[in-house]
Structures are given as C-alpha cells and as structure tokens.
Amino acid sequence: MGGFTVYFEKPAAWAETVHVHFWNDATGSVHTVWPGLPMERQDGRWFVHRFTEPVTHLVFNDGHGRQTADLHRSRDGWLTADQCWHDREPAAGRAPAAVTQARPSHARAVPASLKPVSERTDFREETIYFLLTTRFNDGDPGNNFFCRDRIKFNATTGQPEDPHWRGDFKGLIERLDYIRDLGFTAIWITPPVENRSGLDYHGYHAYDWTRIDPRLESPGATYQDLIDAAHAKGIKIIQDVVVNHSCQWGIRGKVHIDHLPIKYYVPQGSESGRVDNGPYRGHLGNYAWPNGDDIDNPAAPDWYRERHATDPQGIEPLVDPRTGETVPKPGYNPCRFFGIDANTLDPDWYHQEGFISGGDWESAHPLQHKHLAGDCIDLATGRQNVKDYVIGAINRYLDMGVDALRIDTVKHIERDNLLEYVNAWKAHKPGLFVFGENLVKGYGWGDLGGGDNGPSEIRPWWYTRLGHDPRNPLSGGDSGFPQLDFGLFSTFRDTVSKGTYGGTAQILTMDWIYGDVTQMVTFLQNHDVGPDNDFKYRFKGEQWMAAAAYNLIWTARGIPCLYYGEEIEFMKGAPQDVSEANDTLDRTGRAYFGDHLTDDRLAETQSRPLYRHIQRLNRIRQAVPALQKARMTQVAEWGSGMSFVRDYAEGGSYAVVGLAIGSDQSIHVGGVRPGLYRDAVTGAESHAPDGTLSFHVRANSAGIYVLDGPGKIGDDGPYLH
C-alpha cells in the first residue's frame, strides 16, 4: 500500500506541539525515536502528517506526558479528540457521519479508547474474561437442557430445577456490555461444538467438531451472531478447542464406538418404562429427541441406526450383538451402554493403550497414549485423518471471525505433534493467537528442578519452546505457543493465600525458560483449580488478598485472565467442580451466574468492591503499553511488598511498579531512567534525577509510576488509592 495522510484533532488540555511516533511490526523496525516527528498545524483545528510508506502502529503525543493509545492506520484518516477514526473529515463540534466499523443495531459503539478488533494485532493488549457459556446468562429458556447426571431437584416440590445447559449465546450477547464495562476486551468461551455425555454442559466431550451445539443457539443468536455482536463492541472471541479426545460415543459421521443405545438401559431394581430421573422418564435416552436416543451417527452399524429411528420408548427387545443377551434387562452390564473397551476401538481414530492411572499422570508416554477418562477417549492425533478433521473443522470457525484459540489438555499430546495443529491454524489465519492449558499443581520446571516430579516433556515451558534438551530451554527458540501460567498461579497457594508476596520473585526469575513470557496467560483461578492448598476450591481468602493478587497479575508480565464471578467473589470457597457424591452444579464454582446479571441486580453487582477494582486495573493496563508488552526487570520482593520495572522501549513506554500487601510500604527502586514519573493510581508526581525513584504505597494497593505518564487513571476504591 502507498502513502497516506493522517489528521489529528488536539485535545484542549494538550501542549501546543503535537508529535507522531510510528513503527512497523511487519519489519520489526521502529521508524521514529520517541516522541516522534512534529506534526504540521493546519487550519487551526487539525495537525497533519503525510506518510510515504505503510506503517502498522502510531501514537500521537504532546511530548509532555499526554498521548493516545497505540493506534493503527494504513489509509487516510481523521482522528478526533475523542480518539475515534473517521474516513472523511467530520464537521467541527459534531458527531461523525460515518465511523470505520459497521455495527449491528443492538450494539453500542466501541469506546473511543478501544481500537476496533481488526486493528488490534498484538494479543498482549487484551485482557480476558473466561466463562462457561452454559452457566453465565440464560437468554433463551427454550434451549435449556438437563444432563442425565447431577440433576438438582427442588426440596419442596421434587421438580427438577437449574438445568445444566442454561446459559446460551443469546444470554451472553445480552450481557456483552457487562463484560466490556468491566474493562475486558476478549472473552474465552468453553468449547461450543456439539457434545455428548452424561454431564456435557461444559463442552469438553466433543461429538461433532463441525457443528455448534444447538443447545447454545437461538433464532437471531447463533454463534455467528455472537461473534459479530462481540466485534461490534470491540471484544474478541477466544474459542476453546479440544484436540486430545472425543466423547465416548465417537465422532458423528467419522467413527463409532461400540455401545448399546442408552434408551435400553434399565438400572438394577427398576424395570423398563419406569425409570424416573426428572425429565428422563421411562429411560435415560435423550428426552428432548422424539426417538429417545442420544446418538445419530451415520458411522454406526446398521442395527444401531435402525433402532435410532424407531422404538422411542426403548421397550422392543434388542439382542446385544456382542453377547447374545436381550435388552432391556434390569441391571444388564452398564459398560455396554456407557463404558469403553480400549481393545475394540478403531485404531484409525483412537489409541488403544487403556486408561491413565497411578504414576501415568507424571509420565509422558502413558499420559499421551492412554485415555483421560471414561468420557474422554484419546484420539490418535498423529494420524493424518484426525489432523485433517480437527484442523479443518476449526478453520471454519476462524473463517467466521474467531480471534484466538485456547487448546485444552496440552500435556496429553506430544509437543511436536500438537504444534502441527497450532501451526496449521496460524497458517490459515495469520496473526492468530493460540495458547494452551498444561495443568500442573506446582512450578512446572520439569527436569530443571524445583521439586518437580514430572519430566520437562509434559511441562508448560516445553510447549513454548522448540528445542529437545529437557534441561536446557535455550536449546530451541520460541514455539509461538504460550501457555496458561500455572507456575505463577501455583505461587499464590503459598503467597497471597497467606497475605504475603514472599517467594514470588523467585518464580519470576525463571521467566527465561519460556519462549515469550509476555504472552503467557496469567490467572488466580479457573474452572478446574483455585490457589488453595489442595487446588480444589474457588478462592476463599480475604477480599484484600484477592485484590493484592490482581494488583500483581495486572502489572506483571503476561495477559491477565479472570474467571467469571471473581469480580464479586462468586461461590467463594465452593469446590470448583462437583466433588461429593450428591453435589449438583449450584453447590460448586460452576453455579449459574445470571441471577447476578438481572436488570434489578445489575447495579448492585457492578458496585461490588472487586468489580470496581478490576475495572480500574483494566483501565490502567490499557493506558500503559509497558504493562501490556514489556518483560519484568529489577524484580525485588520482601514479603509485604514487591517492586519491578516494565520497560517497553520499542513502544516508548516505561513504568516502575510497587505493590504492598497487608501493610503500607515505602518503595525505593534504583537504576531507573531519570525524568518525571506520574502515578496512575494516585496521580502523584516524582522525579528520579539520580536514577532512584521513591514512593509510598498504601496497604493492598499499588504504585504505577509511568515515565512522562498520563497521571491518575480512574477513581479511588478500597484497594487502589
């Protein structure tokens, strides 16, 4: 693309001289040195600069600490004082006639401070809100569905309530503003593809990767509608993807796993037609389907497909072709309906080495060749037919506009094999951000030490690298496949859960082992784990402890991620997943959240202290590129406090951070750049003429001193003041 011209309307509070600083990510070269080139004043209103070559990013600034966010432009454009691009000159004092992105009528405009999705090419600029779609917000009760297992019954009426499949795309679309107003720019949703199991509401038991589960969609609220609505509000969509396994009934149209139809199952002590399990009356087949079956797989044998279309009550005698016995028969082998015989699986699609047990969990080969669970059947991911199917299916969602992928159960697939999938998706959609989940209940250093009882080949750092020396991360470069940061998460068990930062700096000294630590996804808890001693519960520490953890997560390297409800301490202390024999979802961290999002309760939800705390942290991080993209240097920690520097030289952004937990702290950081610093939390100003910056931080708050920074961002709250 050739040259182009940009026009900038200077805000009234800015100094009289305006500069433009620009660089090109594609070439890796910075075209100007901060603060950039002075712009020419034109007609009293506009400052103008003519570019003679393409650029990827630019920042307007006045050389005195006031600047725009990182911007993107490659064609003529007018940027008004509210930081909104226009394709033609808008009239003075009037709203523009046209903006650069079309929006559906149900969506509010993208905030002026947030660039359109298509212009945000570096995922480190984002923060992530993670939710289980089916447990977030119910927009369409007509698609609600009860799983067979863990049904909640009303203690008074005996009627089933709280369907497992409750939230949906319609409900999520209706509350996109809630997530955006909280300050998040990306939403990670659980796998939306069609699922099958006795407890499949979460999406991790895929049956058909090529179809969206109809229990999530409604008229006018399809997956495409969700993607479009999110983009119109400047929000990216991260799709969770399972590569490792399918459900226990195979893959629709590709492979069938031998079972008897569920509608013929009769528990011991019961009889056909009298099973009563809430909506499952007569038998346990799918009550929402008129044929009472669960599986409509063209790959199933003829006898199975014939019964799929007939006998909805499950009462006509059926001979088990494996044993010759006739069902329905009370107490007949449940494994013939729900279990797996690994030796009979199709080797073109599945591994046949049995189920993971005992020491298998810390050994690479069994971890990557045995089945994870009875409803998670290990795919032969190295076979070309499996690659073609899974890669091709996900490409379709990338074409629909999905912005990033999160890969489930990473350590259960050999690294180089999994990178074939990751790199294929990146080739299909250049610039795609893909990160993985490699769960480890420790620091995850593998053969590098640290008391780890598992090898490097199944640890997070290994998947971020390309080398093959388990004791030397530098034997290979960056794989381009960052991970959820379970190492940093694990420190919270021993630190913030006890009201201290003690020992955190030691973990951060190992940042060098990752391919690019600034792209790791950081978190306090998720749907599987919390930072308590047994990793079982939603965070149950004091509120100020959580605030102190968020202060660290939002100012340290990496991309912050929040699990739905953390902003109001939702289900505090509850087990993250069903735990006891009689647990139902309402007793767990996966409880339904939508009750807090109703019109009459929304204001209360948004007034909660942690909501406002996280909202402000998002605003601060969005305004300071160094907090988004720089590595951490000069890390110091003394239990009740931490300090470090974030130096993003290529973006002209430099910040000194001090954190306090439990008590007020005096922070002194030496070896910093001289100049005027402004605190994004208090607005205080401080000079560092001798290269030492000193400031005071109140208990459980932060000092975020930005060189030539914008000053105070947002309003004081109980934990940032």
Q: How far apart are CA 719 and CA 507, in angstroms?
A: 25
At 400-457, the pLDDT tens digits run 999 999 999 999 999 999 999 999 999 999 999 999 999 998 899 999 998 899 999 9
H or E element in which residue 604 lies:
helix 602-606
pLDDT confidence of residue 111: 58
At 356-401, the pLDDT tens digits run 999 999 999 999 999 999 999 999 999 999 999 999 999 999 999 9
pLDDT confidence of residue 303: 95
Q: How far apart are CA 242 and CA 581, in angstroms?
A: 27
Name, in order, each residue with C-beta under 8 angstroms of 233's C-beta and a sequence gap of 6 or more.
Answer: 103, 107, 108, 110, 176, 177, 180
Domain parsing of the chain, residue ranges:
1-100, 258-339, 627-707
Beta 318-319 vs 326-327: how paired, if at all?
Answer: antiparallel
Class of domain 1-100: mainly beta
Q: How far apart are CA 203 and CA 100, in angstroms?
A: 35
Is the pLDDT at 693 greater than 70? The verdict is yes
H or E element in which residue 621 lies:
helix 609-623
CATH (residue range 627-707): 2.60.40.1180
Q: Are 525 and 539 in contact (CB under 8 A)?
A: yes
Neighbours of 593 (CB within 10 A): 23
H or E element in which residue 686 lies:
strand 685-687
Measure CA 414 to chain center: 22
Q: Which of 185, 269, 170, 265 is nearest to 223 (CA)?
A: 170
Domains 1-100 and 627-707 fall in the same CATH topology = yes
Q: How far apart are CA 134 and CA 192, in angstroms?
A: 10
Q: Which of 270, 221, 209, 281 is nearest to 245 (CA)?
A: 209
Indicate the DSSP class of residue 701.
-
Is the pLDDT at 524 greater than 60? The verdict is yes
Placement of tokens 């808890």 in the chain? 525
Dihedral, 582, 585, 589, 595 alpha carbons, nearest 10: -140
Q: How far apart are CA 73 and CA 572, in angstroms?
A: 45
pLDDT confidence of residue 439: 96
pTM (2 d.p.): 0.85
The type of residue at 605 is T
Mean pLDDT (whole number) for 628-646: 97
